Each structure stands twice: as C-alpha cells, then as structure tokens.
Structure 1
C-alpha cells in the first residue's frame, strides 16, 4: 500500500510536469517537430568498451509515468543557438549547463531548459547526436544518433526504468535506457548507443574555457530565460530520491551523493565526486581498463581518461596547476581539459576521454546493483 501511495504521488507530480511541457510545446512547435532528413552514411564507433549483455526486464520494471511525448523533445536547428556574448544576456554565469565539444564545435545546453524537454536532437561537428537529461537521476549523456548506419531521432517515451529516463526512437520504436545507453525493448533491444563525453558545469566557466561556444537560446524558442522555472529545482537537494521508489537501496553512500559511473564490459564502478575533488587525481584499473579521474577546478567537474598511450600505462600525479598534470614515467606535462601532452617526450599525444556520467548514487547503484565503490588509498 505504501508503494502504491508513493506511485500515485509520483503520477500526479509527473502529470504536472507533463502539462507544463505540453504548454511549452505550443510555444516552440517549430523546434519540436521532427524534420525530414536523409540518413547519413554510417560511421565507425571508437567506443572502447564492449557491449554488455541485454537486460532481462522483470515484470513491472518499465513503469509508465506520463504519456508518450508529453514531455516534448527538441529538434534543434542552428538558429536555436546563439554565441557566448548573446547567450550571456540570457543566462547568468552560475546557470548549470551540459557542455559538449565535438570536432571544432562546442555547445552548451542550459539544464533549466532541458528539464522541460529532456532530449535535444542536434548535430555537432557533423555528428547527429541526442543530448539527454534525466532530472531524477541528475544524469546527462550525449549519444550518437546513428545506429547500424541509420540516423534515428529520439523522444521521451513516458516510461521510467528504475527511475531513469527511457527514450524511444521514431524509426524503430525501440525503448532505450539513458544511463545504460542500451535498447531495452523493441527492434534494437540489446544494441548500445555510442556515448560522447560531456560534462555539467556553470555557464560562466564553460564559456571562459570554450570562448567560441554556442548556447541553446530560450528566446529563439519563443521564451524568456528569466521566466523558465526548473520544476525539479527543489528535488535536487530534497531528501527524497526518485519518484517511483526502489526495492534495491544501497546504503554505502547517501542516496543523492554525486558519483562518476564507469562501466567496463560487465563490470561497473562508482567514484565519489568529493573524493576526486579532494585528491585532484584518482588512478584506477577495472579489468583491462586503466583510467584516471581528474578534478577540473575551473569547470568544477570530473574528467575521466584512459591512462595509457598505446600499450604503455602511465601514472599521473596531482595537477601541476589548475590546467595541467604530469606523468611519472616520462615527466611529460599534460593539459587536463583536452588530455593532450604539451611538453616532454610524449608531447602531441592525447589521452582517450571516457564518457563517464555524473549521476546520483541511488540511480547508479539501482541500475548496476553489483557496482563496486572505489575506495581511495589511505
């Protein structure tokens, strides 16, 4: 009975969010109608992690919380974005944004706006992508929209899987888990989406480190930024976790502790953001995957890299400054933001950035019940 009452409350709350999204859709219909676009040629994924086994859904695990497309995805065009100068007239420096850089292009997506839409179908650096935000899990992931040589577009299905956003694609009607980055049900079940690195930071920090960035404009969508309210603003710091509850509560950390989640094959491990911040750099190994997590003090976020160049595994020491670190083996100086060696024997080499999401602990441990929790060395 208690779980049913919790579910009823969740349904009422989500209905309010869906209604708000529907009202907003009327203002931005030109931005939320899927355009007719030809399929691009296929590209090869450089994702180094193997595809995990498909999830076996248990009865009731896919929970319907809102009607399909009640939360309207955005179908972006270049004219919905403005440069950093114009963007600063709309959005304050402290505005949380999802930052993405592909090729020579950088984009910022205000979370306050994404909380009303959850998905932006876009193209960055010539790559069709879906920028996604799950407010319940505090997780931002950017996916390639080309699957098996076919360009897909994504919408909000209205389902939740263990409190996480479930997307669907218009072309095959497959249901996709955001954090798992994998098809749950439908024609592409078991397929894994290519995940691009992204981060959550403040607009001011992002534009200072990416001066040529463009940002999604509320005004270009027929809205005023100062009138947009994130319906989840109170939830991020509230004691409650998720809307639909969970039968799997992992008490090793507080439910809403922020962690960086890393998956390597069938293994998963979580790293407490506070631990990375305190150490500056954390070095680890998961099976064959050697990695480092670096805290970027300018962006106030965590960047995750493979710690090897070719077959050579490197050991890194705490940042030499706000923007650099050194490896012990060669003494080369590395830029923490690009992963590129600036000086020394390895100058010009670049570390591979891993797409490791920031996420609430309750969500990560629910989606990966056997996850390990990294314990920093004493």
Structure 2
C-alpha cells in the first residue's frame, strides 16, 4: 500500500509539472499544438495546480524518505524532472517575461538614438501632443509598458505581442475597476494576458476577459456588453526617423539591462532566444507556434502586414501597398463608421481616421487636418499585424475595402 501511494503521488507531481510546462512554457508549442482550453485552465488555476503538484511530491517524499517506501531512482529522477519543469516555467513566465506596465522608462530622442536605428518600427501613443514611441526590439520581451502617472494624465498601457507583430494601447480598466495585467502565454499567435484581480485570461487582440465573452451568439467574438472591454487607445506605427520629425519633443521607451547580475544574465539569455525565434517567424511563411485553431486563410500571404479595423460585427483589413496604389488615400466604412486611411511618405506611417465630416476626404495630413476640419485617429485599429493572426481572430474579415460597406473585395488588390 505504501508503494502504491509513493508511485501514485510521484506520477501526479510529474504530470502537473509536464502540463504546466506544456501550457505555459512556450517551448512545447514550437513542436506541438496546445488547446486553448488547456492554456486558459492553467492561467486561471496556476497556483492551485502547483499546490496539488507540490502536495503530491511531498507525499512521495514522505513515503520514501521517512517510511522507506518506493524506489530511490524513481524518487530522485522524478524530483529532478518535476523541479526542473516547474522552475523553468515559473521563472520564464514570472521573471523572464516581467512587464513594465507601471515602471517603464522613457528617454529623449537624442538618448534613444544610441539604441534605435532610424528605420526601426516604433509603435506610438499620443495625447495632446505628448507622444511616446515604443521601438519593437525594445518592447518585445517586456510586452507591457506604461507609467504610474500615465500618458498626459491618461491611464494607458502599451501592450505588444512580437509573434503577432501587434502593439495596442489600452486603458486597463473595466467598468471602473482596475485590471492588473500580467503576461502569461500566447495562443493563436497572439498574447494571452491574465487579470490578476480575477485570475481570468485576456486575449490581447480582443481586449476583454474570457469570462466576459458573449457565448450565446454565433457571430464574431464580442463581450457581453461594450463596457466589459478595456478602452482601446489610438495606436499607430511609423519609423523612428518619422517619429523624430513628427514629435521632436517625444520620448522613447528603452528596455535597458538591469543592474542585478542574475537578472542581467537571465535577460541576456531571453533576448537571444526571442531574437532568434522572432527573426525566423518574420522571415518564413510558416508560423513558428503551431497553435492556430483555424487553417490559414489563403487570400493573402501568411506574413503580410495588415491594418485591421473591427466595429460591431464588421471587420476589414488593408495592406499598405493597396493604400499607396490608391494615391495614398482611401475613403471607406466599417460597421457604419466612415473612415479615412492615409499613407504619409514623409513620416512613413499609415493612419486610420474617423471621418465625421459627412463627406469623402480628398486631402489629409499626418496630424489629421483636412479641408473639412480636424479628424481624430480611430481607436479600433490593429496596426501592422500579421495577416494570419488577424484572420485567425476575425475570420469574417473583408480585405482592402474601398467605399462603403457594400463594396467588398474579399481579396487582395
């Protein structure tokens, strides 16, 4: 009976460690497909599962060390395997992927020039002329960047998923309640966060917690009510040199190495791993993470960059070359909302504007000025993400729409 207890408890501890590594450790998803339900389960109950695994290991240790049950080889090999898998996954997720949602450091453009090349893509948040640039290589691993005092007084956090090539600004609040975001995993080639206040997973591209999803509808994924979604902030891309021209007094996020030598070594190793895998992901058609729930939509090349907009049940995306081919300007409509897409060759940026003038726009500058008046940037844009990620989460999407919502191309131009 004692031997049975020993082996059963050891199997449970190893099984919990293996599942923890599989669902949150990222590395297994380079080689195998993980179900979204499994990832969500471990995100919700991470420490409960770890407690079960630790308790089972303690029973096996008691059986072997104090009661002379079981087998020494099995105990020590099982202990090493359990410890290695749990320690790796926990350190990787909670230390290696530690975010800077309230502690990010922003520097002057002059200081940033030492770390950011002129053509590097930066993801920008702006309010009342106060602009912050987030270079992709700098925000790739922290994933979240923000400060306690916010952006010109606004509580805004930049979220970034390198595997989706997607940066989005959000106000991390829902119906007046603060959301405590932490990076936990990715699925569907998009970042999965956790609200530590509720334990709920939250898909970056959707912006609302899994428990708040309306599962009664068969249409596009949406929250039970709009107020359950984090407020999206107008987010746009440009080159670093374009940012310098547009916002000479702007600041730049830099993820400088920590002074702690252990964290320095860990971050160095993480950067090497991230750079290698993301470089491969950006240059090859096949996604490096095989956890898509749908077949890749063939209407565009897998790694095409698209600017997507979803409003209500309607969704559409555009490629930058389509906008350029149409004289750098597109008047269109998504979900009943009139929009203007404009490519600016001086600032090297594709912008999406809400057109509330009641008529098509024929001319617009980088800052939204038109002959009809000033336009505001759309907060509903997912700028420059990979096509295969956009179509994974918005499979009903139209492509390169021009004109009103009845003018659907459904394919690349």
For residue 233 of structure 1, give the secondary structure of its aligned residue in structure 2. Answer: helix
Q: Classify 1:249/1:226 alpha carbon distance in 2 versus 1 (closer, same or farther; 3 Å).
A: closer
Residue segments in structure 2 that go unaligned for 5+ positions in a row: 1-21, 44-88, 215-222, 404-412
Question: Aligned residue for 2:188?
Answer: 162
Pairs aligned (count):
304
1:203 counterpart residue number:
240
Structure 2 residue aligned with 1:304: 352
Inter-partner Cα distance in structure 1 for 2:123 and 2:142: 14
Partner of 1:112: 137
Q: Quick check: which has more Rg, 1 or 2? A: 2
Query: Which digits, 9 at most, give the CA deviation of each residue in 1:283-330, with x for residues without a partner?
Result: 112342111111121232210012222xxx22123xxxxxxx2xxxxx
* Mapped pair 1:87 → 2:112: yes
Q: Distance in 2 between matches of 1:363 and 1:195?
A: 18
Q: 1:153 to 1:242 in 2, by over 3 A?
A: same
The equivalent of 1:46 in structure 2 is none
CA RMSD of aligned residues (A): 3.3
For 1:144, the equivalent position in structure 2 comes to 171
For 1:72, what is the secondary structure of its paired residue?
coil
- Residues 189-225 of structure 1: CA deviation (Å, up to 9, x unaligned): 75211111122222121122110111123447557x9
Q: Partner of 2:27 in structure 1?
A: 12
Q: How does 1:247-286 map to 2 (within 5 A)?
A: 247-279=294-326, 280-286=328-334
- Tell me the SS of whatever aligns to 1:308: coil
Alpha-carbon displacement from aligned partner over 1:110-152 (angstroms, at most 9, x marks no partner): 2112111111233211111221111111111010123222333
What TM-score, normalized to structure 1?
0.71
The normalised TM-score by structure 2 is 0.65
Query: After superposition, what is the alpha-carbon deviation per residue over 1:138-190, rounded to whole angstroms, capped at 9, x for unaligned?
Result: 111010123222333311022x3322101112323232111112222379975
Q: Judge conservation of contact 2:207–2:230 (CA < 8 Å) in 1.
A: yes
Is residue 163–residue 190 contact of structure 2 (8 Å, CA) maintained in 1?
yes
Are positions 1:340 and 2:355 aligned together? no
Residues 56-84 of structure 1: per-residue CA shift (max 9 Å, x gap) = x9745759796543521114447x22111
Task: Measure the CA separation in 2 of the matches of 1:113 and 1:181.
Answer: 22
Change (3 A) 1:61 1:256: farther
